[in-house]
Chain A
């Protein structure tokens, strides 16, 4: 039991110390073995472990050992890789760019042996990054070299080189070249699809705006950048850009806005790439803000907070310079001039290798003021002098560069203006085009509409023509029918009638009585057919008599009680018209006899001044007129209509169910 417990405890201990044991294990191998290859492998493991644990001191030391060993073994590719990794940390972590340069120089000797363009270019890129800390021109030369070496496909690396060179140019005050490089970097990042770094290129340009006094423009562009960063969820960059924005507002003396931005930056500090730096910078600036507003309590508080973070990044001179500025401002406000002087002197030392001329200049100015307050006029004068000289030299140098930059910007703007002018002329052309198109469309519609109208008109005309033709046909039919009836009637009368008469005369003379009655019947039949076909009386007796005759016949042969008032209308119409009038009367009575179930009829024929008035009224059952007029089967009504039309007259039909029917005709004379 006790033995088992021991094993468990041992296991736990060994697990917790495993990584440490691993490191020691490989370290042991490195220190003891004589097999160079084994040593190299062990060193590789050590580097992996130290890297993982962010133990950069050991990482750098062992990297140096590895590089030497690899060189002696002729493992140049491996050597170059380790050089690249180590140099970055030597520059940033150990703050020893000279060492980094020496290290890289060792590797570059074997440049021709590297197959990979990335490796060669990468080395130059890293050396540039190191040089930039103390010799900007050499850095630029290395970036040039890197750009030469990188293949066309190495978009991301080329973009890096452009970005770094742009930064270097910008620091040199060569804004035109810087701007050019930033643009190229932006394009390559875009090509490589790395939106994150596209933002860096943009931010480089924005910083140049600020540097050249286009502060408002810088603020505006950075605001857009911040919005884009938020859209892309790249919160790790947010605090630094908000912080930079606050600096620009400080330059505009907009303290309120500066404060707001710092507070906002503070909320994103945790998620930034380098929270310690962010906190240091933001707290320092806040302290400075409160000092400015004579709120010494808060100024002290934020200064203390900065001091908590600062030891974590002892090598970050930039952060230190920011802190020192805040400290100087605080001590001045709290009248601790000795301390302020110390901090200012320290800051000058810190800034010495940083190349931030602007900061150096204003530190000299502040120091001069402090000395003045302390009564040390000589030192005050010295620093004021340094301030002025430095400022003038920088000013002269940057003035020219800035002028060229303005010019470029102006050129760019002019080009943009030209472009927009072109665009507007294109828009004008498009407008013109679209108006032309509108005209075409309108024209098209008009033509189509015209065709439609023409078609409708033609259709209507055709319909009218068809209707007229139809009417004419009906009328012609009526006339032809009348002619035919007349002809048949005459033939019956003149032909068969006469023959039968002769036959009868013969029969009578022969005294054959039975045959006589047969012949008489035949004659009677011919007579009635002939009479039905054509009203013989019309020609012989005139229309008035003919009408009276037919009424007499109807009166006599039917139960109808007929009241007639007929004026003499002989000689008013031609024969054809008389036939039609006679037929109208005849057909009206036919309708009454067939359909009306009337017991009484009244007929009136009056000769008016300009027309004949014919009224036929019955007391029959009537009909729904509107219903019938559309009914083509009602031939009785239809022929009445047609005959009236032949006479160019009008017909008026009044009828109601159970109330009789009145037909009223007006026929012009």
Chain B
């Protein structure tokens, strides 16, 4: 388990050393470390480690760019992003790039162990703070993450038996806009394009929708 290989990269030497020291102390094998993006990608290409723990903002290539390149070159290394930034968009971006973990630097020490073990089990891991940000209370309603807050408002109103007209009046928008949102939601939830499909789904998942 502990024999899995890890590469770390951060342009901040003290933080990098702190992380390395912590991981070594916990018994992880760190093959090599890099202080810029370009070097980090070279190391990944060379060693094909199991895990690469990368900072986003680095000279040369950013963490996200490295992830993109790995995807393109079909390198199997699982990437964990460790950053100072707490952004919803980063979360979505990470998902898109098939990034396994997203950790905030200030919680790295506390969460890194859980993260690595989760990732090694092919389960993506996201910082608790990120989940708070995205208002995700439990893993069960994770599918709602894809919906925008506005879409979630509409879904909630649908669940409480409101018609398109009523929703439009309540939100001060046109029924056409409501209709458009509905079709977007159906698409995102991957439902069958049937007349009452969304209403039925909303009724079924009423508990989760009530945020």
Docked-complex contact B18 and A555, CB < 8 angstroms? no
Docked-complex contact A563 and B85, CB < 8 angstroms? no
Is A493 close to B, CB under 8 A? yes
Contacts of A563 in B (CB 8 A): 150, 173, 177, 180-181
Q: Tell me which of A53-61, A192-200, A309-317, A543-551 binds B.
A: A543-551
Docked-complex contact A527 and B84, CB < 8 angstroms? yes
Q: Tell me which of A291-299, A421-429, A449-457, A533-541 binds B.
A: A533-541
Q: Which residue of B56, B110, B172 is within 8 Å of A600 (Cβ)? A: B172
Docked-complex contact A599 and B105, CB < 8 angstroms? no
- Pairs A–B under 8 Å by Cβ, sample size 21: A493-B57, A498-B12, A498-B84, A501-B15, A501-B106, A502-B15, A505-B22, A509-B109, A527-B86, A531-B87, A540-B57, A540-B64, A541-B89, A552-B88, A552-B89, A555-B150, A561-B172, A561-B173, A562-B148, A563-B150, A564-B148
- The complex places the Cα of A531 from the Cα of B109 at a distance, in Å, of 23
- The complex places the Cα of A447 from the Cα of B60 at a distance, in Å, of 67
Main secondary structure of the interface of B (DSSP, over half): helix
Interface residue tally on B, bucketed by range: 20 to 34
Is B171 close to A, CB under 8 A? yes
Contacts of B172 in A (CB 8 A): 561, 599-600, 619
Is B69 close to A, CB under 8 A? no
Contacts of A520 in B (CB 8 A): 106
Docked-complex contact B18 and A505, CB < 8 angstroms? yes
Docked-complex contact B14 and A502, CB < 8 angstroms? yes
Docked-complex contact A540 and B62, CB < 8 angstroms? yes
| A224-272 interface (Cβ within 8 A of B) | none
Looking at B18, B86, B88, B150, the one whose CB has the most chain A CB atoms below 10 A away is B150
Q: Which residue of B105, B148, B173, B180 is within 8 Å of A501 (Cβ)? A: B105
Q: Which 6 A-B pairs have the closest CB atoms?
A: A549-B89, A599-B172, A555-B149, A561-B171, A556-B149, A600-B173
Contacts of B171 in A (CB 8 A): 561, 599-600
| A550-572 interface (Cβ within 8 A of B) | 552-553, 555-556, 561-564
Docked-complex contact B109 and A508, CB < 8 angstroms? yes
Measured CB to CB, the closest approach of chain A to B131, in angstroms, equals 14
Measured CB to CB, the closest approach of chain B to A68, in angstroms, equals 146
Is B163 close to A, CB under 8 A? no
A564-B148, A600-B173 given; name 15 further pairs at CB < 8 Å.
Answer: A494-B12, A497-B84, A498-B15, A502-B15, A505-B22, A527-B84, A537-B89, A545-B93, A555-B149, A555-B150, A556-B135, A556-B149, A599-B171, A599-B172, A600-B177
Using known A-B contacts A498-B12, A498-B14, determine if residue A545 contacts B149 with beta carbons closer than 8 Å.
no
Which residue of chain A has its CB nearest to the CB of B178?
Answer: A563
Measured CB to CB, the closest approach of chain A to B69, in angstroms, equals 15
Using known A-B contacts A508-B110, A599-B172, determine if residue A537 contacts B90 with beta carbons closer than 8 Å.
yes
| A162-212 interface (Cβ within 8 A of B) | none
Looking at A519, A536, A562, A619, the one whose CB has the most chain B CB atoms below 10 A away is A536
Docked-complex contact A523 and B106, CB < 8 angstroms? yes
Q: Which residue of A494, A498, A500, A537 is within 8 Å of B87 (Cβ)? A: A537
Contacts of A301 in B (CB 8 A): none
Docked-complex contact A504 and B85, CB < 8 angstroms? no
- The complex places the Cα of A508 from the Cα of B19 at a distance, in Å, of 13
Docked-complex contact A602 and B106, CB < 8 angstroms? no
Docked-complex contact B84 and A501, CB < 8 angstroms? yes
| A350-376 interface (Cβ within 8 A of B) | none
Contacts of B105 in A (CB 8 A): 501
- The complex places the Cα of A545 from the Cα of B87 at a distance, in Å, of 11
Is B153 close to A, CB under 8 A? yes
Contacts of A519 in B (CB 8 A): 106
Measured CB to CB, the closest approach of chain B to A605, in angstroms, equals 15
Docked-complex contact A540 and B15, CB < 8 angstroms? no
Contacts of B56 in A (CB 8 A): 540
- The complex places the Cα of A601 from the Cα of B15 at a distance, in Å, of 43
Which residue of chain A has its CB nearest to the CB of B177?
Answer: A563
Measured CB to CB, the closest approach of chain B to A507, in angstroms, equals 10
Using known A-B contacts A505-B109, A561-B171, determine if residue A531 contacts B88 with beta carbons closer than 8 Å.
no
Contacts of A540 in B (CB 8 A): 56-57, 62, 64, 85, 90
Docked-complex contact A541 and B93, CB < 8 angstroms? yes
Which residue of chain B has its CB nearest to the CB of A555?
Answer: B149
Docked-complex contact B88 and A549, CB < 8 angstroms? yes
Contacts of A493 in B (CB 8 A): 57, 84
| B161-176 interface (Cβ within 8 A of A) | 171-173
- The complex places the Cα of A540 from the Cα of B177 at a distance, in Å, of 32
Contacts of B180 in A (CB 8 A): 563
| B1-26 interface (Cβ within 8 A of A) | 12, 14-15, 18, 22
Per-residue CB contact flags for chain A residues 284-295 toward chain B (1 = under 8 Å, else 0) read: 000000000000
| A487-538 interface (Cβ within 8 A of B) | 493-494, 497-498, 500-502, 504-505, 508-509, 519-520, 523, 527, 531, 536-537
- The complex places the Cα of A497 from the Cα of B57 at a distance, in Å, of 13
- The complex places the Cα of A52 from the Cα of B105 at a distance, in Å, of 150
Docked-complex contact B18 and A541, CB < 8 angstroms? no
- The complex places the Cα of A508 from the Cα of B181 at a distance, in Å, of 45
Measured CB to CB, the closest approach of chain A to B49, in angstroms, equals 23
Docked-complex contact B87 and A549, CB < 8 angstroms? yes
Contacts of A548 in B (CB 8 A): 89
Contacts of B85 in A (CB 8 A): 527, 531, 536-537, 540
Which residue of chain A has its CB nearest to the CB of B106?
Answer: A523
| B95-111 interface (Cβ within 8 A of A) | 105-106, 108-110
- The complex places the Cα of A615 from the Cα of B88 at a distance, in Å, of 24
Contacts of B57 in A (CB 8 A): 493, 536, 540
Per-residue CB contact flags for chain B residues 119-135 toward chain A (1 = under 8 Å, else 0) read: 00000000000000001
Contacts of A494 in B (CB 8 A): 12
Q: Which residue of A508, A562, A619 is within 8 Å of B150 (Cβ)? A: A562
Q: Which residue of B84, B90, B110 is within 8 Å of A541 (Cβ)? A: B90
- The complex places the Cα of A501 from the Cα of B86 at a distance, in Å, of 14
Which residue of chain A has its CB nearest to the CB of B10?
Answer: A498
Docked-complex contact B173 and A500, CB < 8 angstroms? no
Which residue of chain B has its CB nearest to the CB of A562?
Answer: B150
- The complex places the Cα of A439 from the Cα of B55 at a distance, in Å, of 86
Measured CB to CB, the closest approach of chain B to A545, in angstroms, equals 5
- The complex places the Cα of A471 from the Cα of B92 at a distance, in Å, of 39
Contacts of B181 in A (CB 8 A): 563
Contacts of A502 in B (CB 8 A): 14-15, 18
Contacts of A552 in B (CB 8 A): 88-89, 148-149
| B24-60 interface (Cβ within 8 A of A) | 56-57
Measured CB to CB, the closest approach of chain A to B183, in angstroms, equals 12
Docked-complex contact B88 and A602, CB < 8 angstroms? no
Contacts of B108 in A (CB 8 A): 505
- The complex places the Cα of A501 from the Cα of B12 at a distance, in Å, of 11
Which residue of chain B has its CB nearest to the CB of A490?
Answer: B57
Per-residue CB contact flags for chain A residues 453-487 toward chain B (1 = under 8 Å, else 0) read: 00000000000000000000000000000000000
